[in-house]
Amino acid sequence: MTTRRALVVAAVAALLLPSFVDPPAVAAADPVLVGAGDIANCSTSADSATARLLDGIAGTVFTLGDNAYPRGSGSDFRRCYRPTWGRHEGRTRPAPGNHDYATSGADGYFDYFDPNPGARGQGWYSYDRGTWHIVVLNSNCSKIGGCGPGSAQVRWLKGDLAANAGRNVLAYWHHPRFSSGKHGNSTDVQTFWNVLYANGADIVLNGHDHDYERFAPQDPDGQADAQHGIRQFVVGTGGTPLRSKGSTAANSQAFSSTHGVLKLTLGPDSYDWRFVPIAGKTFTDAGSGSTHGPPGGLQTRTFLATSDAYVDQAHPRTNYGSTARLYVDADTGGGMDRWAYIKVAVSGLTGRVRGAYLRLLVRDGSANGPRVYRTSSGWSGGSITWRNRPGPIGGAVDDLGRVPSNRWIYLDVTSLVDGDGTYSFQLRTTSGDGLSVSSIQGSRAPRLVVQSAP
């Protein structure tokens, strides 16, 4: 059956292809993801066996945490991971596990995988393959300030999914929400599931329990949901010693204690899976599923900024409305503060606003990101200066911590956006470690991503 997403992809492709192409271009092969978690252990040989499976499977390699035993140290990665899965490092997109955090700050993990594992101290990021948006999360919640609704990671996740609405979504991290293995269900990642389900995610991959398990599509409360449910796989079979089943979780469809890797082939409106066992083992599991959109009629629209500028306390009469970057800085009393202003016109919304996120491309990062405030719209990008700048209206509605360079960030402004209209935002920081973001005149203009539903 052709899904709504497939029709959208086909329509866009038709617009992009020149009408004179003859013969028709051959479609690119569907992307492949392959991998597992709980991997490199110098006291076993199974990690070498699973690495040999990767040798014969093209595509992006994912890891689901606990990459190098026993402590995820630099030595563990050099001695145990590098000789096996390390030969596929260039195509690997990893996630961290609790054993990786046995070394303070997961420094061995971040040092080894740099620059692919997300910002140090965070570990979450995303990337695209074909029509799919892949989200990598950090489920070591106690190490990163929590994984609840107000956490930095979840605020980022909401904005990232809103900005990529319409794509198929696959997410992975270490600790499974549902599991029949020794560790069982992890409620720490409940909010991940809530947000992913609301945004129409199709697949979740986890490790932690040293086994393989496949679940039927289900909702965040563990109820079977064939229409909008997420299919979860536990693939803790990368090489470290395996464990047997602890109990049988609801909606579990397949379980095995067999070393191997999971291969996923990701089509525009469907996906295929196959568990590939190491040499000498016979268990396998294969099948296919259809993609779906979000429940509840969620719609997402993106609005580019109509005006922006920054103001500089050191040059109070100078207008900075035509620069390629917006600067935000606090000189902590030195008279050198810089504030940024962004204006967006919103129109054509239907239903009630469920989420609104100011999306900015950071050029120079900071250890302490900006706060965002509402401000009046009676300013112009061509004339605003420090002397005539409007002040904030009310308190800050979001406040970011560390923000890396050359990454998109998302400021949650849901409380400020209630429908069509013009919205103005002021960015300020209390940190002397300033940052800059791309402006309208830069390579990527600021934009407001708005989700609405009946």
Instruction: Find the CATH number of the domain harbouring 315.
Output: 2.60.120
Structure-block tokens of residue 92: 């690997």
| Domain end marker among 233, 268, 296 | 296
Q: What is the extent of the structural domain holding 437? A: 299-453
Residues 153, 155, 158, 163, CA torsion sign: negative
Residue 30 domain flag: yes
* Alpha helical stretches, state H, 164-210: 190-198
Residues of the chain with pLDDT under 50: 1-26
Q: If phi over 0 gives left and psi between -120 and 50 gives alpha, with beta otherwise, what is residue 110?
A: alpha
Say yes or no: 49 and 193 in one domain.
yes
Say yes or no: 93 and 237 in one domain.
yes
Q: Maximum Cα–Cα distance for the chain, whole Å?
A: 76
As a whole number of angstroms, the distance between CA 326 and CA 156 comes to 21
Say yes or no: 172 and 274 in one domain.
yes
As a whole number of angstroms, the distance between CA 212 and CA 326 comes to 48
Q: In sequence order, what E strands does 222-316 have?
A: 231-235, 252-256, 260-266, 270-277, 285-290, 299-312
**pLDDT reported for residue 14:** 34
Instruction: Dump pLDDT digits (tens) for 22-65.
Output: 344 445 699 999 999 999 999 999 999 999 999 999 999 999 99
Say yes or no: 209 and 130 in one domain.
yes
Residue 94 domain flag: yes
Instruction: Find the CATH number of the domain harbouring 255.
Output: 3.60.21.10
**pLDDT reported for residue 6:** 44
Element (H, E) at 6: helix 4-16
| Domain end marker among 296, 328, 351 | 296
Residue 415 domain flag: yes
Say yes or no: 285 and 343 in one domain.
no
Structure-block tokens of residue 418: 């209630």
Say yes or no: 351 and 211 in one domain.
no
Residue 175 domain flag: yes
Burial group, residue 406, by CB count within 10 angstroms (0-12, 13-18, 19+): exposed
Say yes or no: 309 and 356 in one domain.
yes
Residue 5 domain flag: no
Q: Are 162 and 171 in contact (CB under 8 A)?
A: no
Residue 307 domain flag: yes
**pLDDT reported for residue 331:** 76
**pLDDT reported for residue 332:** 61
Q: Which residues contact 331 (CB under 8 A, 6 or more apart)?
A: 313, 337, 432
As a whole number of angstroms, the distance between CA 175 and CA 187 comes to 9
| Domain end marker among 296, 313, 341 | 296
Say yes or no: 353 and 225 in one domain.
no
Say yes or no: 409 and 262 in one domain.
no
Say yes or no: 251 and 323 in one domain.
no
Say yes or no: 288 and 341 in one domain.
no
Residue 105 domain flag: yes
Report the domain count for the chain: 2
Reference 230, options 172, 174, 311; nearest CA is: 172
Residue 9 domain flag: no
Say yes or no: 288 and 199 in one domain.
yes
